[in-house]
């Protein structure tokens, strides 16, 4: 009995080192394989990225994933292994191989976690299914549809313009306005009017203005889930993002209400979704599919445009030469604000187009790396590199837009680089703010029109500036910033949560002096 009682504890203890030893051997084997024998082992990159996506998840939550990818290219070169199965290329030829010549590549399965209810145009992985949905949704965002929508868009632009100078004064400077809020209100009103047939009216009412924060929080949570889907286990994400989950539920209630109201109207994108039928099977989208598409269109359409508009205003208020040149162009070409429409006069505004292009280059609305997966049984050649099945590839949009090989002086806001007579030529082939190929942003025509009309109206009607206080620093980088890539005070700061998020700038507006104009 005594011998048995002594033997049992010893036996139990003796088994522990064996289990730990097996685990250590498994870990060691994994490390050796990932370091020396994995198909992507030859590519340089961050050390942690050889073994796990934890580093990417950390930077995704922090909001500087685009900057970390850019930094990795500075350190390791144009081709990096960013996570165990992901290679990122910072070359023009690689960009084309992936997104144009690799048009049949599937979107990576990681995108599945960011769907709102079920698959939608942004998250569907199959090229065939994407093409099918794009055929249904695309006509609602075509250049023809945008021309039909323009009168409504102009109404929103006027309302936006008037909201930025709320005080009745003698023409002096108005109060500081946080443009990340007001641009979001404007963009959300526009996209909800287009998708649901009725604007949510964030510009005119405070009731739903919290929606912009709900969307921002929702994208932050989803950006973590994209690289760390195991956070779903035990719904740890709900514990980590309590406020964001509440905001997501509030957003879903709002979308449900807008869909109910839209049922009695026609002529909007939602009506196209509900009535569309497959030409072969006669089947349409399910109610769940329609909801997911509408909810994601409202998110992507508002977020991407609002960040581009904020960035444009930041750069114009920060760069006097660009502001003066654009103001002269707009105020010389358009006799009155009523004349600011799409057409021949707007086409003459070449410097306006250059300012928008330069903004989308230096501060893209999607700054990270939209990546694609090589399917089983296939291989892909990217910039001369053979990528085997099961691995993913992509190009960091912010990174290639800041590559001096294609864009000299990449950190400077220089609209002149897009003009024909400027020696600082830009590479159009490396310019990809809306992505390229079959997955190019479906809302690019709307975004371009919003930016052109909104900027033209604001520049025609107002002078604006960043306040000479600490508030005027919002949105800018700081020379003493600890984070890599955030030290340029003349660059608008993005927070990469799948779609770029923003804070600021703070601007003051003043009606222009028409007596001494021009």
Cα–Cα distance measured from residue 465 to residue 151, given in angstroms and rounded to the nearest whole number: 29
Q: Classify burial at 275, counting beta carbons within 10 Å of its beta carbon; exposed 0-12, middle 13-18, buried 19 or more.
A: exposed
Q: Could you give the 3-state DSSP secondary structure of residue 476?
A: strand
Of 497, 475, 450, residue with least CA distance to 356: 450
Cβ-contact 497, 59 below 8 angstroms: no
Measured CA to CA in angstroms, residue 490 lies from 311, 412, 506 at distances of: 11, 8, 14
**Are 313 and 505 contacting, i.e. CB atoms less than 8 angstroms apart?**
yes
Are 410 and 402 in contact by the 8 Å Cβ rule? The answer is yes
Which residues does the annotation place in the binding site?
441
Residue from 125, 115, 117 nearest 371 by CA: 125
Contact 90, 399 (CB under 8 A): yes
Provide the annotated binding site for heme.
441
Question: How many other C-beta atoms are found inside a 10 Å radius of the C-beta of residue 165?
Answer: 20
Integer angstrom CA distances of residue 404 from 30, 60, 268: 38, 25, 43
Nearest alpha carbon to residue 474 among 311, 358, 362, 275: 311
Long-range pairs, 157-161, Cβ under 8 A, ≥24: 157/186, 157/450, 157/453, 157/454, 157/457, 158/337, 158/457, 159/186, 159/189, 159/203, 159/204, 160/185, 160/186, 160/203, 160/454, 161/457, 161/458, 161/461, 161/462
Q: Are 337 and 461 in contact (CB under 8 A)?
A: yes
Q: Are 179 and 505 in contact, with CB atoms under 8 Å apart?
A: yes
What are the respective helix, strand and coil percentages of the chain, to the nearest 5? Answer: 55, 10, 35
Question: Can you list the alpha helix ranges (DSSP code H) found in 206-278?
Answer: 211-227, 236-240, 242-262, 269-275
Nearest CA to 166 among 155, 156, 177? 177
Give one DSSP letter per residue of 60-120, joined into a string: HHHT-HHHHHHHHHHHH-SEEEEETTEEEE-SHHHHHHHHTTTTTPEEPGGGGGG-SSS--
């Amino acid at each position: 009995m005594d011998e048995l009682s002594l033997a049992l504890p010893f036996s139990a203890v003796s088994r522990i080192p064996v289990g730990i030893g097996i685990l250590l051997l498994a870990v060691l084997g994994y490390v050796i394989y990932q370091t020396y024998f994995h198909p992507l082992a030859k590519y340089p990159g961050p050390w942690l990225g050889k073994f796990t996506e934890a580093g990417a998840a950390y930077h995704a939550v922090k909001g500087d994933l685009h900057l970390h990818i850019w930094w990795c290219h500075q350190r390791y070169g144009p081709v990096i292994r960013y996570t165990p199965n992901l290679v990122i290329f910072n070359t023009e030829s690689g960009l084309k191989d992936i997104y144009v010549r690799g048009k049949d590549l599937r979107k990576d399965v990681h995108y599945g976690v960011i769907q709102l209810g079920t698959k939608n145009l942004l998250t569907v992985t199959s090229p065939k299914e994407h093409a099918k949905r794009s055929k249904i949704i695309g006509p609602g965002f075509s250049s023809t549809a945008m021309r039909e929508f323009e009168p409504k868009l102009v109404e929103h632009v006027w309302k936006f313009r008037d909201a930025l100078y709320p005080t009745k004064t003698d023409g002096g400077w108005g109060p500081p306005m946080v443009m990340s809020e007001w641009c979001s209100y404007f963009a959300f009103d526009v996209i909800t009017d287009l998708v649901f047939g009725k604007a949510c009216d964030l510009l005119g009412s405070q009731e739903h203005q919290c929606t912009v924060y709900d969307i921002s929080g929702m994208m932050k949570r989803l950006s973590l889930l994209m690289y760390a889907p195991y956070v779903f286990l035990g719904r740890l994400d709900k514990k980590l993002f309590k406020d964001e989950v509440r905001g997501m539920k509030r957003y879903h209630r709002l979308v449900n209400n807008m869909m109910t109201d839209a049922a009695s109207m026609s002529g909007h994108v939602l009506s196209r979704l509900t009535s569309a039928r497959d030409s072969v099977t006669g089947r349409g989208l399910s109610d769940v599919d329609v909801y997911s598409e509408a909810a994601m269109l409202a998110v992507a359409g508002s977020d991407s445009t609002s960040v581009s508009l904020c960035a444009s205003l930041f750069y114009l208020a920060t760069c006097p030469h660009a502001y003066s040149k654009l103001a002269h162009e707009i105020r010389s070409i358009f006799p009155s604000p009523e004349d600011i429409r799409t057409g021949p006069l707007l086409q003459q505004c070449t410097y306006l187009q250059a300012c928008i292009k330069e903004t989308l280059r230096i501060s893209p609305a999607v700054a990270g790396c939209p990546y694609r997966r090589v399917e089983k049984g296939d291989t892909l050649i990217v910039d001369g590199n053979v990528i085997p099945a099961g691995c993913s590839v992509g190009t960091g949009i912010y990174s290639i837009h800041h590559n001096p090989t294609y864009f000299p002086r990449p950190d400077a806001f220089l609209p002149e680089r897009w003009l024909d007579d400027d020696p600082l030529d830009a590479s159009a082939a490396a310019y990809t703010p809306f992505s390229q190929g079959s997955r190019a942003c479906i809302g690019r025509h709307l975004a371009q029109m919003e930016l052109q009309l909104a900027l033209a109206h604001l520049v025609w009607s107002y002078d604006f500036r960043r306040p000479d206080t600490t508030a005027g620093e919002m949105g800018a980088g700081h020379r003493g910033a600890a984070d890599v890539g955030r030290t340029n005070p003349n660059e608008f700061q993005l927070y990469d949560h799948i779609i770029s998020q923003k804070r600021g700038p703070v601007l003051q507006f003043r009606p222009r002096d028409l007596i001494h104009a021009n």
